[in-house]
Amino acid sequence: DIKGVLFDLDGVIADTAKYHYLAWREVAKRYDIELCEGFNENLKGVSRRESLEKILGIKNIVLPEEEFKSVLKEKNELYINYLEELGEDSILPGIKEFLIDLKRSNKRVAVASASKNAPYILEKLELLKYIDYIADPGSIERGKPEPDIFLDAARGIGLKTDEVVGIEDSQAGVDALYRANMLSIGIGDLRNSLYNLESTGELLDKKTRRLIFKG
């Protein structure tokens, strides 16, 4: 039986994936790189550092470490500025109700996000009370699609791999769950998931309810 749910944050709990994209677009422009939504899919679920490597890789640009770091800092500043706009309506459809249902049914909830801004965002959205554990991406060496962060998240809520299901909007994230031997629900058109939903609103539908709340 499923005893817990592992949530990705950006694009699953909060409508923040678009802010990452906007911030990266601005940074990329300075190197004459035009980011498009298709390429952006490769950045979802990927750490800040690795994202910049991928973006610069488009033009085979390798920056000295110092400049690289200052670009990372700048991107995060742009991103944090966008987060000023965060509010109740930044919580994606159905998520709050779903979290309330999980709490009521004594299911455990962990967040497994590559973002170092996750605790800040969850606090700002007043969702911390629904969450039992937040994995710290800073202390996990291998990011998604490696399974480590999901293994840490399951451990954090004291559950085994077959007692959890992960919810992800990125291919890297679904692949990480797959490698962790965990069930996954994809948001969007993803490979390797148990099934995909078009939107988080569908988490409240029968299919997911049967999987998580049965028994």
Residues serving a catalytic function are 8, 10
117 binds ligand BG6 (CB under 6 A): yes
Determine how β-strand 133-134 pairs with β-strand 4-7.
Answer: unpaired
Identity (one letter) of the amino acid at 127? L
Buried b (16+ CB within 10 A) or exposed e, 85-105: ebeeebbbebbbebbebbeee
What's at 28, amino acid-wise?
Answer: A
What is the Cα–Cα distance from 15 to 205, expressed in whole angstroms? Answer: 20
Interaction of residue 45 with ligand BG6, rule CB under 6 A: yes
Of 170 and 208, the one with the shorter C-beta distance to ligand BG6 is 170
- Could you say which of 3, 99, 115, 176 contacts ligand BG6 (CB under 6 A)? 115
Ligand-binding site membership of 174 (annotated): no
Amino acid at 129: K
Strands 164-168 and 183-187: parallel
Nearer to ligand BG6, 118 or 182 (CB): 118
* Shortest distance (Å) from residue 4 CB to Mg ion: 19
Q: What angle is formed at CA 173 by the lines to CA 181 and CA 4, rounded to 5 degrees?
A: 55
- Decide if residue 51 touches ligand BG6 (CB under 6 A): yes
One symbol per residue from 2 to 41: x for binding ligand BG6 (CB under 6 A), - otherwise; what is it? Answer: -------xx------x--x---------------------
DSSP annotation of 108 reads E
Name which of 8 and 148 has its Cβ closer to Mg ion: 8
Contact status, residue 135 vs residue 162, Cβ threshold 8 Å: no
| Number of helical (H) and strand (E) elements in the chain, helices listed first | 9, 6
- Residues numbered 158 to 197 that lie near Mg ion (CB under 5 A) are 169-170
107 binding ligand BG6? (CB under 6 A): no
Q: Write out the binding residues for substrate.
A: 8-10, 24, 43-48, 51, 75, 113-117, 144
* Binding footprint of ligand BG6 on the chain (CB under 6 A): 9-10, 17, 20, 43-48, 51, 76, 113-117, 170
Q: Write out the binding residues for Mg(2+).
A: 8, 10, 168-169
